[in-house]
C-alpha cells in the first residue's frame, strides 16, 4: 500500500480509503470484519459524516480497541458556529474518541453557503476553535463544484479538500492539480461514479479504480465498502502491479458516451425558479439505485421542502447544464421512484 502525507497537516494516509456511506445498510457487527481486512492490507483512512445516519456510531464501535491505528475523518453540513460546535461534540461521542483527525465542512454548494461558513459566527470559526482545543487535527472542505472549490481554497488555507473524480468526471483533474500546488491534501470521492462502474462487465470497477490509483494528484481514493469481499477486491486493485492503462482510455471513451444522463452535481442548473434542489434529488436517486439504501433515499426525499413534481418544465435548468442532461424528464422519473403517495 502506498502512503501520502496529506497536505500540510503532516497526517500520513493510505492511498485507498474506506468510505462510510454503505455501512448504513448493514449491522454494526459486520463493520469490524471489513476493517480488519483493510487494515491487514495497509489501509488506515476512514471517512464518515454526521449526515450518514448510523455510520459514525458503527465506526466508533468498530474502532474502540485500536483507534490510534486509524486516520478518522468526518464532516458536518452545519453552517453556523453553534451548529458546528454541537456537531463536533456529537461526532466525538459517536466515534468514541477524544480527537478526530480531519473534520470537514460538508458539501458547500453555493457562494452564499461559502460566505456563511467563512463569516464571523460561521461554521469555520467553530472548527478553528476545536482545532486549538485539540478536538480535531486538521480542517477540510468538501464540494461537488470545482469552480467553487477554487474560491474556497483561495479564501482559507484548508488542509484537505474532497471532490468527486472518476472516469465520467475527468474534467475535475485540474482542480486536484491546483489543490496539490497549494499544498492542500486531496481526497477523491465517488471513484466509481456512485456505482456506475461495477454495475456490469461493460464498465468494470477495477479499471475505474486503476485510473484513480495512477492519478498522482489524488492523495486518497475514497471507496465506499460494506462487505468483506468488496474490501478484498479493492485491496487487490490497489496492491496489484497489473497494467490497465490501455483499458482506462477505452473505458473513458465508452463512459463518456454512456453517461450522458449522469449528473455531475456541478450545480450550474441552479437556482431553480420554484426551488427544486436538482443535484440533491439526483444524488438521492443514486442512493436508491446503486448504494442499496432505498429506504433512506425515500425518507430524505420525503423531507425535502420542494420535490421533483414541483417542476414547471420551464427548461431553464437544461439551458444551463453543460452536459446536456434531460433534467425535466429525469425529475419525473426520480419522483416516480422516490415519491411517497
Q: So where are the chain's domains?
A: 3-248, 278-338
Please answer whether residues 165 and 172 qualify as being in contact, where contact means their C-beta atoms are separated by less than 8 angstroms.
yes
Separation of alpha carbons 36 and 32, rounded Å: 6
Separation of alpha carbons 244 and 164, rounded Å: 21
| Averaged confidence pLDDT in the chain | 93
Q: Quick check: 280 pLDDT over 60?
A: yes
Please answer whether residues 304 and 335 qualify as being in contact, where contact means their C-beta atoms are separated by less than 8 angstroms.
no
What beta strand segments (E) does 146-210 contain?
160-164, 185-189
User: What was the pLDDT predicted at 321?
Assistant: 84
User: What was the pLDDT predicted at 258?
Assistant: 65
DSSP state of 135: S
What mean pLDDT comes out for the span 92-115? 96
Give residue-wise pLDDT tens across range 227-245: 999 999 999 999 888 899 9
Please answer whether residues 179 and 165 qualify as being in contact, where contact means their C-beta atoms are separated by less than 8 angstroms.
no
Separation of alpha carbons 192 and 194, rounded Å: 6
Closest-CA residue to 194 (of 253, 261, 270): 261
Give residue-wise pLDDT tens across range 61-95: 999 999 999 999 999 999 999 999 999 999 999 99
Separation of alpha carbons 140 and 63, rounded Å: 22
- Residue 19: its H or E element: strand 16-19
Q: Quick check: 60 pLDDT over 90?
A: yes
C-alpha cell at 271: 437556482
C-alpha cell at 92: 466525538
User: What was the pLDDT predicted at 201?
Assistant: 81
First-to-last alpha carbon distance for the chain, in angstroms, is 49
User: What was the pLDDT predicted at 283?
Assistant: 86
Separation of alpha carbons 230 and 222, rounded Å: 13
Which is higher by pLDDT, 255 or 250?
250
User: What was the pLDDT predicted at 216?
Assistant: 96
Give residue-wise pLDDT tens across range 170-222: 999 999 999 999 999 999 999 998 778 887 788 899 999 999 999 999 999 99
DSSP state of 49: -
Separation of alpha carbons 72 and 225, rounded Å: 15
C-alpha distance from residue 4 to each of 98, 114, 217 (Å): 24, 28, 11
C-alpha cell at 84: 458546528
Confidence of residue 96 (pLDDT cuts 50, 70, 90): very high
Q: Quick check: 341 pLDDT over 60?
A: no
User: What was the pLDDT predicted at 339?
Assistant: 87
198 phi-psi bin (left φ>0, alpha ψ -120 to 50, beta other):
left
Separation of alpha carbons 258 and 94, rounded Å: 40
Please answer whether residues 99 and 157 qualify as being in contact, where contact means their C-beta atoms are separated by less than 8 angstroms.
no
Give residue-wise pLDDT tens across range 13-53: 999 999 998 898 899 999 999 999 999 999 999 999 999 98
Cα 58 → chain centroid: 18
**pTM score:** 0.85
Domain covering 3-248, topology: TIM Barrel (3.20.20)
Q: Is the peptide bond before 210 cis (omega within 30 degrees of 0)?
A: no
Which is higher by pLDDT, 144 or 132?
132
Amino acid at each position: 500500500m502506498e502512503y501520502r502525507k496529506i497536505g500540510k497537516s503532516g497526517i500520513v494516509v493510505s492511498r485507498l480509503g474506506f468510505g462510510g456511506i454503505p455501512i448504513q445498510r448493514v449491522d454494526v457487527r459486520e463493520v469490524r470484519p471489513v476493517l480488519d481486512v483493510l487494515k491487514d492490507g495497509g489501509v488506515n483512512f476512514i471517512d464518515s459524516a454526521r449526515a450518514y445516519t448510523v455510520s459514525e456510531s458503527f465506526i466508533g464501535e468498530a474502532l474502540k480497541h485500536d483507534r490510534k491505528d486509524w486516520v478518522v475523518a468526518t464532516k458536518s453540513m452545519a453552517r453556523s458556529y453553534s451548529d458546528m460546535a454541537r456537531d463536533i461534540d456529537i461526532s466525538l461521542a459517536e466515534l468514541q474518541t477524544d480527537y478526530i483527525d480531519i473534520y470537514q465542512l460538508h458539501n458547500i454548494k453555493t457562494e452564499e453557503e461559502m460566505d456563511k461558513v467563512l463569516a464571523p459566527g460561521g461554521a469555520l470559526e467553530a472548527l478553528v476553535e476545536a482545532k486549538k482545543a485539540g478536538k480535531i487535527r486538521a480542517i477540510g472542505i468538501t464540494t461537488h463544484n470545482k469552480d467553487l472549490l477554487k474560491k474556497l481554497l483561495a479564501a482559507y488555507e484548508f488542509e484537505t479538500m474532497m471532490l468527486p473524480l472518476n472516469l465520467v468526471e475527468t474534467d475535475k483533474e485540474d482542480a486536484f492539480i491546483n489543490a496539490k500546488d497549494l499544498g492542500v491534501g486531496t481526497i477523491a470521492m465517488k471513484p466509481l461514479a456512485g456505482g456506475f462502474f461495477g454495475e456490469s462487465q461493460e464498465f468494470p470497477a477495477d479499471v475505474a479504480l486503476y485510473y484513480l490509483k495512477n492519478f498522482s494528484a489524488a492523495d486518497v481514493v475514497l471507496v465506499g465498502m460494506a462487505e468483506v469481499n468488496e474490501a478484498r477486491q479493492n485491496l487487490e486493485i490497489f496492491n496489484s502491479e497489473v497494467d490497465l492503462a490501455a483499458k482506462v482510455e477505452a473505458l473513458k471513451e465508452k463512459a463518456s458516451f454512456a453517461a450522458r444522463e449522469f449528473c455531475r452535481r456541478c450545480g450550474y442548473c441552479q437556482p431553480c425558479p420554484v426551488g427544486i434542489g436538482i443535484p440533491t434529488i439526483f444524488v438521492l436517486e443514486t442512493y436508491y439505485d446503486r448504494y442499496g439504501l432505498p429506504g433512506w433515499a425515500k425518507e430524505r426525499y420525503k423531507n425535502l421542502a420542494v420535490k421533483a413534481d414541483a417542476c414547471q418544465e420551464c427548461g431553464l435548468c437544461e439551458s444551463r447544464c453543460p452536459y446536456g442532461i434531460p433534467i425535466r424528464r429525469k425529475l419525473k422519473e426520480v419522483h416516480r421512484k422516490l415519491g411517497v403517495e
